[in-house]
Amino acid sequence: MLVRIIIRVVINVLALLAAIWLIPGIDFVGEKWWMLIIVALIFGVVNALIRPIVMIFSCPLLILTLGLFTIIINAAMLMLTAWISNNVFNLGFYVYDPWAAVWGALVVSVVSFVLTLLLSGSDD
């Protein structure tokens, strides 16, 4: 259980690093490397607690758009992570505009998917 959580946090850190590196409107200006780990933890908690509720309430839009609205939900979760990490914890993770959030959500999703395939073996 603990190993899975650690793997998930590592995947989130690497996915967020990829988005920071690739997308001009996403930035991390924290002084310490461990601050990005806290941002990844916040991102994981937001995706675990808030995203399912948003997915349930947006079910008609998800059906209407054949699931493409999930990209908007992921972008909103990335922006919410940036807001929480700055306004509550002052960690220095910024998403400057909604388009950067959309592109960042796509990068985070792809990197997370690929790393999950690579790092999660058949340990069940």
Dihedrals phi, psi of 93, to nearest 5 degrees? -105, 120
pLDDT at 123: 55
pLDDT at 109: 95
Comparing CA positions, the residue from 12, 13, 17, 40 lying closest to residue 27 is: 17
* Tokens of residue 89, six digits: 């914890």
CA gap 82, 28 in Å, rounded: 10
pLDDT at 92: 92
Q: Provide the whole-model pTM.
A: 0.90
Binned average pLDDT, 10 residues per bin, the chain of 124 residues:
90 96 94 92 96 95 94 96 95 95 97 90 56
CA gap 89, 70 in Å, rounded: 27
In 3-state terms, what secondary structure has residue 26? Answer: strand
